[in-house]
Amino acid sequence: MLSSKNFWGSEHDRQYHYDERIRREKIANYGYQKVPEDEKTQWVLRHFNSVARQYDLMNTLLSFGIHYLWKRTAIGTLGLEPGDRVLDVCGGTGDLAILAKRAVGASGEVAVYDINRAMIDAGRFKKTNAGVRRRIRYVQGNAEQIAFPDEHFDAVMVGFGIRNVTHMEQGFTEMLRVLKPGGRMMCLEFSKPSNPVFLPLVRFLFFHHHAAVGASAGRYPPGLHPPARINPLVSPAGRVENHFRAHRLLPGFLAAPDQRDSGDPHR
């Protein structure tokens, strides 16, 4: 078992989430491992190919269903309205996309964007919420090169997926590129809880969850960066400040909504 200090990762290890460091040393973080920069995508693909079919079930069982509460709360921060266009980056099986589609209604549009076809298909053809799933668009692609035009979406979100993007800053740059002025971006991700009461819960969820769905225990560390460390990754791309903050209702997680441009008259 990893110590508490090692579980959250060192500051040195977290440097391998920064694009400049990755490109200079040609090494990226894959959980607690260091892998060649140009191989991380394949590591991620292999992992999710192996767990796609049981991914949603194990999420529900091993989080005791709490992950649905986290996702509903995160979606609520976006303030979606009927008619909005929403992009779910690294959307996987589409849990967030389903919630978003219900919020934007028949006049709105929601697209799941994910590099892994097995995860897309596992969600797309599920029998639960089948009617909603049929009204969602599914696109396979790399988050570092999003195949949509500039300023196309009212909201862009990524849930538990940004850690799998090799060049995180490039991923955020692309998300902001396709976001309309006045739009909102939300990132839901594990972070070290500010309240130590929740530390044992987060440790349990990560070690047991990822072991059960096929990953080596501890392969995906929850502590990417605290919000203050992620802000610099986003601000240069979008010329905005204070994107990321801890959310008091999501212990051990961060929800990160913020307006890109508060001058939009429609918001």
Question: What are the structural domains of the chain?
Answer: 53-259 (3.40.50.150)
Q: Which pLDDT does position 69 carry in this prediction? A: 84
Distances from the Cα of 33 to the Cαs of 27, 130, 141, 228, in angstroms? 10, 38, 24, 24
- Ranges under pLDDT 50 in the chain: 1-4, 210-223, 238-243, 248-249, 251-267
Q: Which pLDDT does position 260 carry in this prediction? A: 42
Cα–Cα distance, 22 to 90 (Å, whole number): 20
For residue 185, the cross-strand partners are 156, 258
pTM attached to this predicted model: 0.81
